[in-house]
Amino acid sequence: MTVRQHTAAQSVSGVWRHGRLLPPASAARRWWARILDALLTVVLTVVIAVSAMLLQDAQVIDLDAATAAALLGCPVVLLFLGALYGCTVSPGQALLGVVSLRSADGRRVGLWRGMGRYLGVGLFPIALVVLILSFFDAPSFGSAPIRVCRRVR
């Protein structure tokens, strides 16, 4: 086996970064990193929402600002953790000693891809709940059909 073939065979199982071959992380480490990041997202979102409610209760901010903070808490936390994931490592990855790299060149995932990935995965359960609720709200077979028409002036 030539040196080139040996290097190509090694790169299939890992990623080259700064002249070193990084071996792939086990599935258990990858999943635990994701679980820890999800728990951190939930905790930070709850802290933001509870803080907003306490500030509203103490009449420091009004109800509209507290509601906005509570609703925007989750996406902001997801964007922040996604930026960490894309540019460095997420907290869960740092605790478990893993890192996500592009397999082609060993570079970081990138800011936009990291934030997009975390937003997509983090907001998916909300989208799933909305989809399920829309099925319960759908007209049943025995109900009268609904048509949407254009108004004539």
* pLDDT tens digits, 36-62: 999 999 999 999 999 999 999 999 999
69 in a structural domain: yes
51 in a structural domain: yes
Domain that holds residue 79: 38-126
State both tokens at 144.
């009268």
Q: Is residue 26 scored above 90 in pLDDT?
A: no
Q: What is the mean pLDDT of residues 100-129?
A: 87
- Extract the runs of DSSP E, i.e. beta strands, from the chain: 15-17, 20-22
Q: Supply the pLDDT for residue 12.
A: 56
Query: Can you tell me whether residue 139 is helix, strand or coil?
Result: coil
8 in a structural domain: no
Q: Supply the pLDDT for residue 129.
A: 86
If we measure between CA atoms, which residue out of 92, 83, 75 comes closest to residue 38?
Answer: 92
100 in a structural domain: yes
The domain tally of the chain equals 1
Q: What is the mean pLDDT of residues 67-89?
A: 92
Query: Can you tell me whether residue 96 is helix, strand or coil?
Result: helix
27 in a structural domain: no
131 in a structural domain: no
Measure the CA–CA gap between 65 and 55, rounded to whole angstroms.
10
Spatial contact of 106 and 15, defined as CB atoms under 8 Å apart? yes
**This prediction's pTM:** 0.72
Identity at 91, one-letter amino acid code: P
Identity at 61, one-letter amino acid code: I
133 in a structural domain: no
135 in a structural domain: no
Q: What is the mean pLDDT of residues 80-92?
A: 92
